Amino acid sequence: MKLEFNLDDYVEKIKNGNSFFHTFINRDSLAAGVLVLQPGEEDTQEPHESDEVYYVISGNGYLKIKDKDYAVSTGKLFFVAKDVEHFFHGNTAELKVLYFFGGPDS
């Protein structure tokens, strides 16, 4: 089992691929990954079956949780409960976010 991860490798994989996120740990008890959104790119995620934490590595914009927009900036952390609608939007710079699920990425 891999124990060390380089986020830059996954960011590069996203930039060269066709997805805006990459889950690099996916276990029954925990999942972790990185999300990269370019300005104007749509975050199409659906509510998840596990609680989730987002840590903003860099960028700006908003995270809509239910019906409220929260300003996104470097160093902020957000909690989203399972089954709650949410998505990032309105970024004018590249947005990089580290995410953790309290269960598998489903």
How are beta strands 77-80 and 21-26 bridged, if at all? Answer: unpaired
The pTM of the full predicted model, rounded to 2 decimals, is 0.94
Strands (E), 38-90: 52-58, 60-65, 68-73, 77-80, 86-89
Protein fold of 7-101: Jelly Rolls (2.60.120)
Q: Would you list the domain boundaries of the chain?
A: 7-101
Cα dihedral sign, 73-74-79-80 = positive
Residues 6+ apart with CB under 8 A from 25: 5, 31, 32, 33
Tens-digit pLDDT profile for residues 38-79:
999 999 999 999 999 999 999 999 999 999 999 999 999 999
Q: Is the distance from CB of 78 to CB of 68 less than 8 angstroms?
A: no
Tens-digit pLDDT profile for residues 74-95:
999 999 999 999 999 999 999 9
